[in-house]
C-alpha cells in the first residue's frame, strides 16, 4: 500500500511547470528538476530570474504537519533579494512573499489546484509551479528558494 501511495502521489499530486512529474528515477529533467530525494516529493527545481541568473527551489514534504483538511505551503528565502510565490487562488489566500532570511506560509484546502507564479526582486521568474493538494492533505510542503 505504501508503495502504491508513493507512486500515486508522484504521478498525481505534484506538477511543476504545469507538467506532471513521474515517479523517482524517471530521469528528472522536467523543468530543470534534479534527482529525487528519498521520497517522491523531495525535488530540486531550477529557477531562472528575469536577469538570467540561475537559482533553485528545494522542495520537501512533511506528512502530518497540518490539519487533515489543509495543505500548508511554506516558502523560505535563502537568497539576497525579495522572493515571492503569487497565485490567484479563490477565495483569496495571501501570497508567499519573503525578504532574505525570512519565510512565509499559507494554508490551502486539501482538494485544490494551485498555480504559483515565481517573483524574484519584483520581476517574473520561471518556471511557474502547479500543485494539486489532494494527496498532500494534512501535510506541509516546504519550498526553500536558494541562490
We report the CATH number of the domain holding residue 97 as: 2.60.270
In angstroms, what CA-CA distances link 138 with 1, 38, 64, 124?
18, 20, 5, 30
Average pLDDT, the chain: 80
How sure is the predictor about 38, in pLDDT bands with cuts at 50, 70 and 90? low
Number of domains composing the chain: 1
The tens digit of pLDDT for each residue in 83-99 reads 999 999 999 999 999 99
- Domain of 112? 2-146
> Are 125 and 48 a contacting pair, CB within 8 Å?
yes
Report the distance separating Cα 118 and Cα 48, nearest Å.
10
Cell of 23: 515517479
Amino acid at each position: 500500500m505504501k508503495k502504491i501511495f508513493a507512486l500515486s502521489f508522484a504521478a498525481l499530486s505534484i506538477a511543476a511547470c504545469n507538467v506532471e512529474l513521474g515517479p523517482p528515477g524517471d530521469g528528472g529533467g522536467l523543468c530543470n528538476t534534479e534527482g529525487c530525494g528519498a521520497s517522491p516529493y523531495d525535488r530540486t527545481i531550477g529557477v531562472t530570474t528575469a536577469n538570467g541568473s540561475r537559482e533553485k527551489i528545494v522542495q520537501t514534504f512533511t506528512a502530518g504537519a497540518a490539519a487533515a483538511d489543509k495543505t500548508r505551503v511554506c516558502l523560505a528565502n535563502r537568497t539576497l533579494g525579495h522572493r515571492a510565490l503569487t497565485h490567484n487562488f479563490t477565495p483569496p489566500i495571501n501570497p508567499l512573499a519573503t525578504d532574505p532570511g525570512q519565510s512565509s506560509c499559507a494554508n490551502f484546502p486539501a482538494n485544490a489546484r494551485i498555480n504559483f507564479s515565481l517573483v524574484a526582486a519584483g520581476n517574473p521568474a520561471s518556471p511557474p509551479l502547479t500543485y494539486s493538494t489532494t494527496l498532500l492533505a494534512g501535510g506541509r510542503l516546504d519550498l526553500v528558494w536558494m541562490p
